[in-house]
Structures are given as structure tokens and as C-alpha cells.
Amino acid sequence: MQNDDQGTNDADSQLVQEDQKAEHPPSPFIITAAPSWESIVNVKGEVSLPEEDARDPKFWSRICVHNMAKLSREATTFRRILGCQLLSPSLWI
């Protein structure tokens, strides 16, 4: 036989879990690290991947997103380094 307090706690716990699932549904995507360009393309410029990966648009889109993120980090670093120099009024005269 269950205690009334225990039954209420179980129901409350279940409602909290359902609310958390509704607020943060699990992602349908599995995030894996993108391989380095050196592991994708050999010295001759040929793609060295299994054929199924080479033909998979999801693979190449992941590579593109990875490269865009890398470029944005580089641009941010560049802006931070040169920002104070470019904002100096004496440089624009």
C-alpha cells in the first residue's frame, strides 16, 4: 500500500519530467567532430573518403559549417587585434 504523500510526490515528479521534455526536446542530430581537411584530401588533391561519405550532403554540410565557424573565429581574432588600431582617429587622416 502506498502512502498518500508518496503518491503525490511520484505524480509531481512525473509532471516535472514531462515539462522538462516539452521544454527541451532531444536533438535529432548527433554531433560528431568534423575530420580535418588533411584527412579528407590527399596531397594530390583527391578526395580520400569512403564513397558513401563523399556522396553524402550531410557530411559536406557539416564540413562547411565547421569551416564557417573556423573563419568566424579567425575574423573575430583579427578584429580584436586590429580593432584598436582601426578605431584610432589619427590613422584616418
Tens digit of each residue's pLDDT (9 = 90 or more) over 16-74: 666 656 566 666 666 667 777 788 888 888 888 888 888 889 888 888 888 888 888 88
Domain residues for the domain of 53 are 4-92
Cross-strand bridge partners of residue 41? 47
Number of domains in the chain: 1
Q: pTM for this one? A: 0.47
Cross-strand bridge partners of residue 47? 41
Which are the contacts of 49, defined by CB distance < 8 A and separation ≥ 6?
40, 59
